[in-house]
């Protein structure tokens, strides 16, 4: 039902307007009482007196002035009035932002949790409100983000920017909402090309050392794959050792990503090599721990799969190093 006061569409059977809090029962009662009240006030005989006409003229003049004032208000004031107060939705908003503003690399689990949190928030909002539309658009963006395999390292920054825009269009301010944390494209400006080149070269060297170490360390896991359900005692030990190695590997890789200059700050002179290094950190985190697609029960990949994973990262590193070398020798 449409609110007669502000025009907001509310679910049928609502007791009050979700936007302006008009109580529909009281409004209906006031309409029902109006004819009786008017009849009681009407004179028994004759037309309206001079006092009545003067009063009516004053009311009309006041109404005209109010209408002129309302119609001349800036659009921004109307937009501000349309924002929902965040307090009634605090639980859902905090649940969403707790996942979003984690100080960690983006994972597929975060993506799923964000989508679910946005859906839960949307269910609490007035169905036809602008806020519901903004939150649903954010949920759809998160659900469809990426290729479904590996998230880029800067995915969380993109999620933050998209959410903060949706939030500012849907809700009013509140001290308990998170401050903007996503770096903007223009924040700090582009790095000095020479400074960026040196930083990328250091990262490339570290990545090369990690890949060399991984090639040596993974030999101990043997030639064959291990299927979790069919593993004997010896294979279970291999599987446990592999899982421990993967956990340690991710701990070693994450600082490399953290030290890389953000893509937004890469000067054009070193952008090719820098973006390749960012992509390598994604590849390095995409450990082939679930085996071939046709046999998802495999938890320890065979040597061929492990070698292919490391080889792909190594080839991309060569491309990045070549691009950085080209940048280093290019005339300034």
Query: What is the per-residue pLDDT across 137-174, written as a single tens digit (0 to 9) for each?
Result: 899 889 888 655 556 777 888 899 889 989 999 999 98
Please tell me which residue, 165 or 179, carries the higher pLDDT value: 165
Cβ atoms of residues 308 and 315 within 8 Å = no
Name the residue with tokens 């995915």. 155
The count of domains in the chain is 2
With a cut of 90, say whether residue 18 has pLDDT above it.
Answer: no
For 97, the domain range is: 87-170
Q: Is residue 57 part of a domain?
A: no
Cβ atoms of residues 56 and 48 within 8 Å = yes
Dihedral sign for Cα 184, 185, 188, 193, please.
positive
Any idea of the CA torsion for 76, 78, 82, 85, to the nearest 10 degrees?
A: 70
Q: What is the mean pLDDT of residues 86-103?
A: 91
Q: Is 149 helix (H, G, I), strand (E, B) or coil?
A: coil
User: Nearest to residue 202, comparing CAs of 159, 256, 145?
Assistant: 256
Q: Is residue 272 part of a domain?
A: yes
Q: Are residues 144 and 231 in the same domain?
A: no
Q: What six digits make up the tokens of 301?
A: 């990949």
Q: What is the pLDDT of residues 70-88, one digit of tens each?
A: 344 444 433 555 799 999 9
User: Nearest to residue 199, comparing CAs of 269, 152, 248, 252?
Assistant: 269
With a cut of 50, say whether residue 202 has pLDDT above it.
Answer: yes
Q: Is residue 136 part of a domain?
A: yes
Q: How many CB atoms lie within 10 A of CB 125?
A: 22
Q: Is residue 304 part of a domain?
A: yes
Q: Cα–chain-centroid distance for residue 213?
A: 35
Q: What six digits make up the tokens of 13?
A: 């059977």
Residue where one domain finishes, among candidates 113, 138, 170: 170
Q: Are residues 94 and 133 in the same domain?
A: yes
Beta strands 298-300; 226-227: pairing state = antiparallel
Q: Is residue 273 part of a domain?
A: yes
Q: Is 84 helix (H, G, I), strand (E, B) or coil?
A: strand
Q: Are residues 198 and 107 in the same domain?
A: no
Q: Are residues 209 and 315 in the same domain?
A: yes
Q: Are residues 136 and 258 in the same domain?
A: no
What CA–CA distance (Å, rounded) separates 213 from 186? Answer: 37
Q: What is the pLDDT of residues 205-218, one digit of tens each?
A: 999 999 999 999 99
What CA–CA distance (Å, rounded) separates 167 from 161? Answer: 10
User: Nearest to residue 157, comparing CAs of 260, 259, 263, 251?
Assistant: 263
The per-residue pLDDT of the chain, averaged, comes to 76
Q: Are residues 165 and 197 in the same domain?
A: no
What CA–CA distance (Å, rounded) separates 185 from 320? Answer: 23
Give how far Cα 79 sits from Cα of 21, 83, 84, 176, 295, Å. 18, 7, 11, 22, 54
Q: Cα–chain-centroid distance for residue 245?
A: 31
Q: Is residue 72 part of a domain?
A: no
Q: Are residues 132 and 243 in the same domain?
A: no
In the DSSP assignment, the letter for residue 192 is P
With a cut of 60, say whether residue 134 has pLDDT above it.
Answer: yes
Q: Are residues 197 and 274 in the same domain?
A: yes
Cβ atoms of residues 224 and 208 within 8 Å = no
Q: Are residues 162 and 267 in the same domain?
A: no
What CA–CA distance (Å, rounded) separates 81 from 70? Answer: 13
Q: Are residues 133 and 241 in the same domain?
A: no
With a cut of 70, say whether residue 308 has pLDDT above it.
Answer: yes
Lowest mean pLDDT among 74-78, 109-113, 117-121, 175-179: 74-78
Q: Are residues 158 and 224 in the same domain?
A: no
pLDDT of residue 315: 95
Q: Are residues 265 and 208 in the same domain?
A: yes
Q: Is residue 188 part of a domain?
A: no
Residue where one domain finishes, among candidates 170, 201, 228: 170
Query: What residues contact residue 96 under an 8 Å CB cut-off, 6+ apart?
Result: 114, 117, 118, 121, 163
Q: Is residue 146 part of a domain?
A: yes
Cβ atoms of residues 302 and 221 within 8 Å = no
């Amino acid at each position: 039902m449409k609110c007669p006061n502000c025009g907001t569409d509310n679910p049928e059977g609502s007791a009050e307007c979700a936007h302006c809090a008009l109580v529909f029962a009281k409004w209906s009662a006031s309409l029902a009482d109006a004819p009786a009240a008017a009849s009681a006030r009407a004179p028994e005989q004759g037309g309206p007196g001079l006092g009545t006409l003067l009063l009516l003229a004053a009311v009309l003049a006041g109404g005209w002035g109010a209408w002129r004032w309302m119609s001349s208000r800036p659009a921004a004031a109307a937009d501000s009035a349309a924002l929902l107060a965040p307090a009634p939705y605090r639980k859902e908003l905090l649940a969403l932002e707790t996942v979003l503003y984690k100080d960690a690399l983006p994972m597929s689990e975060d993506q799923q949790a964000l989508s679910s949190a946005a859906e839960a928030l949307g269910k609490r909002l007035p169905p036809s409100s602008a806020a519901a539309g903004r939150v649903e658009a954010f949920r759809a963006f998160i659900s469809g983000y990426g290729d479904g395999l590996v998230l880029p390292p800067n995915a969380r920054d993109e999620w933050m920017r998209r959410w903060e825009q949706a939030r500012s269009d849907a809700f009013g301010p509140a001290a308990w909402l998170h401050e903007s944390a996503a770096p903007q494209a223009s924040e700090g400006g582009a790095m000095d090309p020479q400074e960026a080149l040196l930083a990328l070269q250091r990262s490339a060297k570290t990545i090369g050392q990690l890949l060399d170490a991984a090639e040596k360390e993974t030999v101990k896991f043997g030639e064959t794959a291990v299927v979790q359900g069919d593993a004997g005692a010896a294979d279970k030990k291999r599987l446990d050792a592999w899982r421990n190695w993967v956990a340690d590997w991710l701990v070693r890789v994450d600082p490399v990503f953290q030290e890389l200059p953000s893509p937004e700050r890469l000067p054009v002179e070193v952008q090719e090599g820098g973006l390749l290094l960012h992509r390598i950190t994604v590849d390095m985190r995409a450990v082939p721990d679930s085996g071939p697609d046709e046999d998802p029960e495999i938890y320890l990949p065979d040597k061929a799969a492990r070698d292919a994973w490391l080889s792909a990262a190594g080839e991309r590193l060569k491309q990045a190093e070549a691009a950085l070398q080209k940048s280093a020798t290019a005339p300034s």
